[in-house]
Amino acid sequence: MKTMESRPSGAGIIRKAGPGDAAALSHLSRRTFTQAFGAFYDPADLNLFLDAAYSLEASEGALADPAVGVWFLEGDDAPIGYVVAGPCSLEHPDVTAACGEIKRLYLLEDWRGGGGGSQLLDAALGWLERDGPRRIWLGVFSENTGAQRLYERHGFRKVGEHVFQVGGTADREFTLRRG
């Protein structure tokens, strides 16, 4: 495990992912989600969710979609985190076709807290706002206070709640918006 003292400042290098990164995205997505939330779910439900949401095919689809952007944070010559951004698919009365969404942002647990989340978020926000300011949305687990603080520092505010379903577990999520 890396300690805060041995972790490089700023964590690593941001790189836009491409079609050849599907296997790495699938693997990192499964690993980071399990590290962050695996203890909350029945193992069978978790595996079904991971197989559907983070399969190789799902990663290939995201990377092939021109409306979706994916960036890796690389450290130690391998991806240590990632962010996915695109059109907003959250259900909220204020969401329009012009809105963007931070769909996922995860780091390996040994790399959290060193500035990598801000690096990834800044890359995705810059891409989403490349044609000018717009409303940007995201969903965050109600118990993930660290992520909530990160998003608040970047101008996001709570505007509602929704449910995130993993098998038989319905998680309470906060709906956040910037702009």
Please check whether residue 92 lies inside any domain of the structure.
yes
Residue corresponding to tokens 């197989």:
51
Exposure b/e, 90-124, CB count within 10 A at least 16 = b: beeeebeeebbbbbbbbbbebbbebebbebbbebb
Total domain count, the chain: 1
- 46 neighbors 169 (Cβ within 8 angstroms): no
pTM for the predicted model, two decimal places? 0.91
Please check whether residue 162 lies inside any domain of the structure.
no
Please check whether residue 175 lies inside any domain of the structure.
no
Q: How confident is the model over 9-24, as pLDDT tens digits?
A: 456 899 999 999 999 9
Task: Give the C-alpha separation, 176 to 55, whole Å.
Answer: 27
Residue 5 pLDDT level (bands cut at 50, 70, 90) = very low
Task: Look at residue 127 and tell me whether its pLDDT is greater than 90.
Answer: yes
User: Residue 124 is encoded by which pair of tokens?
Assistant: 């995705």
Please check whether residue 155 lies inside any domain of the structure.
no
Strands laid side by side in the 100-107 sheet: 13-16, 69-75, 78-87, 100-107, 136-141, 169-178, 157-166
Please check whether residue 73 lies inside any domain of the structure.
yes
Residue ranges of E strands in 63-135: 69-75, 78-87, 100-107
The angle at the Cα of 25, spanning 21 to 26, to the nearest 5 degrees, equals: 120
Please check whether residue 27 lies inside any domain of the structure.
yes
User: Residue 70 is encoded by which pair of tokens?
Assistant: 């994916």
**Which domain, by its residues, includes 20?**
13-136
Q: Which residue has better confidence, 159 or 5?
A: 159
Q: How far is CA 145 from the centre of its chain?
A: 15
User: Residue 112 is encoded by which pair of tokens?
Assistant: 């959290």
Please check whether residue 62 lies inside any domain of the structure.
yes
Q: Which residue has better confidence, 125 or 110?
A: 125
Q: Which residue has better confidence, 115 or 102?
A: 102
Please check whether residue 42 lies inside any domain of the structure.
yes
DSSP character string of 103-115: EEEEE-GGGTTSS
**CATH number for the domain harbouring residue 41:** 3.40.630.30
